[in-house]
Chain A
């Protein structure tokens, strides 16, 4: 039962990163784009999907609370200010999406909110992962790092890294969904972003190995784990080829694959720790009666239905969006 909820949690986090990563990334690139036409084109590429994507963050939160309350409580309280600022960033950009077209004179406010909210949320998510990899300070099982215990150069590096990563996802999505100028600009951004992301991933991986020797041993003991980094490398190669060949669909899937491999590498490196070297999966799991109650009422049927629904809604909006149609 614990493994069941670990899997659901992993699926939810991965889906959140891949899906919301797309529209957060588009939000980041939106801040760089000039001209109403291009901006409207970018927005219409993510308009039908952003809210559904964000749902997976809430799903992640409630799975954490219900199935792993200790992690939920520790994580959210240790990252107090970052979590709240991230939430408000997400709210701001969400509302900006809706209100942008209600006004002409004040549109710049919503544009700033959209790009700024995306930037804040992305940076904080990356920084959180970085701080977790580096290890938070714990005393007797309780967080003792203080107000800004998560603020380290490595965490900041990870925040920047995730900005690059989401921007890359966003660029690939724009290539896939758009045409003409929006697509061409995005395609030009991909190589720069991709090199940045890969370099960053290599640095993080090397750092994690050097900093935590037990992880290094794990990788040496189980060489088959290298399938994940290898998958990432392969995906990077195909990504490069598909850019050269001006393929519109492949880059997105390859970047998604790179994200999956990075996620897998990270998860396997620290297994069975959920908060590295402080809280394990079994230590955090809720009592069996809670897990079973959620299994029958939510996990068994409703969760698969949610996945199917997500799949269907993406199929409905498949193909290119017309650049001039806009979403309003």
Chain B
């Protein structure tokens, strides 16, 4: 076992999946928003909804394409770096991933095609239906991924046979109670991502005094949706905490920075966990029973501290501790922004309060940061286990992977991703900056469902005849 290779493999997985999650979380939210827009257009008949729909459909196409491209790697990475894991859990994780891939393929194949080609060829209700199906499809994808990950967090419905996790109860695996708090949590996070990106775009246009009608709708709908959803999101976040407390006391203790068993527990708001000496520095702590109330919904419940867990089963305490606080912090800032913004928007005054517009504009990274730090909390907090309590991450790695191989792969991953995705992100930025086209937009001649990015083509570029390409 090569410990450096293990560390590098973990960094590589974290790097590629962090990059990947940015795009799906954005597109799941956007797809839902597109459905709402199309429904509004049908209900009110206002052409402005069509303009906004067409504009965001283009951005959806690019982001969707980036998500697909970065997702391909994920289907292989379990096997390359985590061969023991994929050998042992393949009978459970493999089928779940297959459901995700096959169903996503069907979504991509059929209804996304209607979205691109169908405007003039299908009745309006069917176009709306297709939009809803695309939204449903992206949510399905998220569902299977959450089932898969939840099984790694709280494994169930299996027997260990010849060193292999053989499924013996799929209903337990798929309808794992953990899924039903984590899946809505992720889904709502995606909706909030979509909402804030839309609101931020609206704020940007207002600040630049362009696209007046469109930007007001974006701002109002984005902030309004966020204002309604964030409280629900906080509730589901709390429910997710409930499962962590029940099944993963080591993760909970790390998140809370709790060293000693307490009954009832106190609540550490901020601190610097000093892992070496098993204590918190600079701690701001709320007295008991607030910790028990937050973690166990009880005034008297006992809370486990890290000291009663063997250190070899501790996660790296500092990462979940801070990642969790950053996530919650982003959530609270978004809540404040959404409520204040919605209030002024309701009073028709938001467009004149420029500082608030600036704040809204700069808020678009918040949901992304919240999602990424939330996943850091969940995944780093699960350590040192790959499958919680059953298979250690160190034992899950490809046993013969060398530091040299892992270094080479990580370096080229970073190089290629930086090259490609910076370009892609820049491209989305350029699309958003140039804004919606007022005329109904033409479908590029050869755009196809399998090439979502082609939606955003600007039309032919005139080629200078004297320059041969590639020379």
Contact = CB atoms under 8 A, between A and B. Distances in A.
Interface string A301-328: 0110110010001000100000001111
B336 interface: no
Given A59-B105, A80-B405, A289-B170, A298 B76 contact: no
Contacts of B445: 325, 327
Interface string B426-458: 010000000000000000111011110110010
B69 A95 contact: yes
Contact of A286 (B68, B78, B91, B469): B91
A211 interface: no
Given A47-B446, A65-B86, A289-B167, A72 B79 contact: yes
B167 A61 contact: no
Contacts of A313: 109, 448-450
B386 to A, nearest CB: 13
A293 B446 contact: no
Given A91-B416, A287-B164, A36 B79 contact: no
B97 A84 contact: no
B84 interface: yes
A69 B405 contact: no
A290 B91 contact: yes
A67 interface: yes
Interface stretch (B285-293, B342-350, B395-403): B395-403
B281 interface: no
Interface in B451-471: 451, 453-454, 457, 459-461, 463-464, 467-471
Interface string B149-167: 0000000000001001011
Given A294-B98, A327-B445, A51 B451 contact: yes
The A interface, classified by DSSP as helix, strand, loop or mixed, is helix
B442 to A, nearest CB: 13
A44 B446 contact: yes
A81 interface: yes
Contacts of B398: 77, 80
Contacts of A87: 72-73, 76
Given A39-B469, A48-B451, A92-B416, A104 B464 contact: yes
A76 B400 contact: no
Contact of B97 (A62, A91, A102, A297): A62
A207 interface: no
The B interface, classified by DSSP as helix, strand, loop or mixed, is helix
Contact of A293 (B110, B170, B399): B170
Interface string A68-111: 01101111110011011101101110110111011010011001
Interface residues of A, number: 76
B412 A85 contact: yes
Interface string B404-425: 1100110011001000100110
B404 A147 contact: yes
Contact of B450 (A52, A302, A303): A52
A249 interface: no
Contact of B161 (A67, A88, A287, A326): A287
A97 B454 CA distance: 10
A88 B75 contact: no
Nearest to A149: B400
A253 B80 CA distance: 35
B252 interface: no
A99 B463 CA distance: 15
Interface residues of B, number: 76
Contact of B448 (A48, A55, A108): A48
B470 A88 contact: no
A69 B468 contact: no
A81 B409 contact: yes
Interface stretch (A138-146, A153-161, A217-225, A258-266): A138-146
Nearest to A85: B412
A58 B459 CA distance: 31
Contacts of A327: 445-446, 454
A108 to B, nearest CB: 5
B109 A66 contact: no
B86 A108 contact: no
B41 interface: no
B307 interface: no
A146 B453 CA distance: 40
A286 B98 CA distance: 13
A107 B467 CA distance: 11
Given A294-B98, A313-B450, A73 B420 contact: no
Contact of A62 (B83, B98, B450, B467): B98
A58 B79 CA distance: 13
B412 A84 contact: yes
Nearest to A115: B470
Interface in B89-104: 89-95, 97-99, 101-103
Given A77-B398, A287-B164, A83 B80 contact: yes
Contacts of B408: 81
A144 B400 contact: yes
Interface in B33-92: 65, 68-70, 72-73, 75-76, 78-81, 83-84, 86-87, 89-92
B80 A84 contact: yes
Contacts of B446: 44, 47-48, 327-328
Interface in B157-216: 161, 164, 166-168, 170
B461 A77 contact: no
Nearest to A90: B72
A63 interface: yes
A73 B84 contact: yes
Contacts of A297: 95, 99, 102
A314 B461 CA distance: 27
B397 to A, nearest CB: 9
12 contacts: A36-B468, A47-B446, A47-B451, A61-B76, A72-B79, A80-B405, A84-B412, A111-B470, A286-B91, A287-B91, A298-B99, A309-B106
